[in-house]
Amino acid sequence: MEIITDINQIDLTKSYTYADYLNWKFQERIELIFGKIFKMSPAPTSQHQHISVAMSSTIYNYLKGKPCRVFTAPFDVILPVTPGISNTVVQPDITVVCNPSKITEHGCNGAPDLVVEVVSKSSVTRDLHEKYGVYEQAGVREYWIVHPQDRSLIIFFLNDKGKYQPSKPLTKGDMAASRVLPGLTIDLHELFTDVVEEPEEEYLVGLKRI
């Protein structure tokens, strides 16, 4: 299969698979959701990075001596959502994997145990719809969505029927607690302290700004 080094060589209106994805060697970051290409902005804001680093550091320290591992973006997660076809590859901001057999040279092959997305106003719809849907369908046991603009967090737990059950909205003064990783808590007062107000990062679909 031909190696692609320029995103302009790709027809962004078509559907693709993970096999295609592995042959794309251009600099732009993209995700595949049911074969559709979503082009992401190349550099998150400092607001986004502050929250992501703070959360991943807390999770990393919690996991010391435990079998689970935490990864930060860019880290490929290949999700089993289309029977017989591997066509969904996402890059959560934070990924926790407790099954070592899922970790490969290229990322995580299968559903992680916990994912975190730090959203902007322009990406929140996608994180609450497309990515919410694939995480639920793939069996990601816990999905955290952080909203920097209003300094809030919602945790979605996968119930025994395979559907997400949301927590109440959490904000400064609350402690966010994981069910998948018992004992993991994050102080949201500390998390959101010193978070600066910034223009949200852009999220691109194909070459169209939204």
Q: Could you state, in order of their start, the residue ranges of all structural domains in the chain?
A: 45-198
| Maximum pairwise Cα distance, the chain | 53
Q: Global pTM? A: 0.89
Q: Is the pLDDT of residue 120 over 70?
A: yes
Distance from the first to the final alpha carbon of the chain: 32
Tell me the percentage of the chain whose pLDDT exceeds 90: 75
Cβ partners under 8 Å of residue 190, min gap 6 = 54
Q: Which residue do the tokens 């070459």 mark? A: 207
Q: Is pLDDT above 60 for 208?
A: no
84 contact partners, CB below 8 Å, separation of at least 6: none
Q: Per-residue pLDDT for 210 more than 50?
A: no
Amino acid at 171: T
Pairwise CA distance, residues 120 & 123, whole Å:
5
Q: Quote the tokens at residue 109.
A: 């092959």
Q: Average pLDDT, stretch 38-65?
A: 90
Structure confidence by residue, pLDDT tens digits, 150-187: 899 999 999 999 999 999 999 999 999 999 999 999 99
- The CATH homologous superfamily for domain 45-198 is tt1808, chain A (3.90.1570.10)
Does pLDDT of 206 surpass 50?
A: no
Q: What is the DSSP letter of 101?
A: G
Spatial separation of the C-alpha atoms in residues 49 and 66, rounded to whole Å: 25
Question: From the centroid of its chain, how far is CA 31?
Answer: 10
Give per-residue pLDDT as tens, 88-116: 999 999 999 999 999 999 999 999 999 99
Query: How confident is the model at residue 207, as a pLDDT?
Result: 40
pLDDT mean over 47-67: 95
From residue 204, give the alpha-carbon distance in Å to each of 93, 95, 133, 165, 209.
17, 22, 19, 29, 5
User: What burial class does residue 155 get, using C-beta atoms within 10 Å of its C-beta: 0-12 exposed, 13-18 middle, 19+ buried?
Assistant: buried
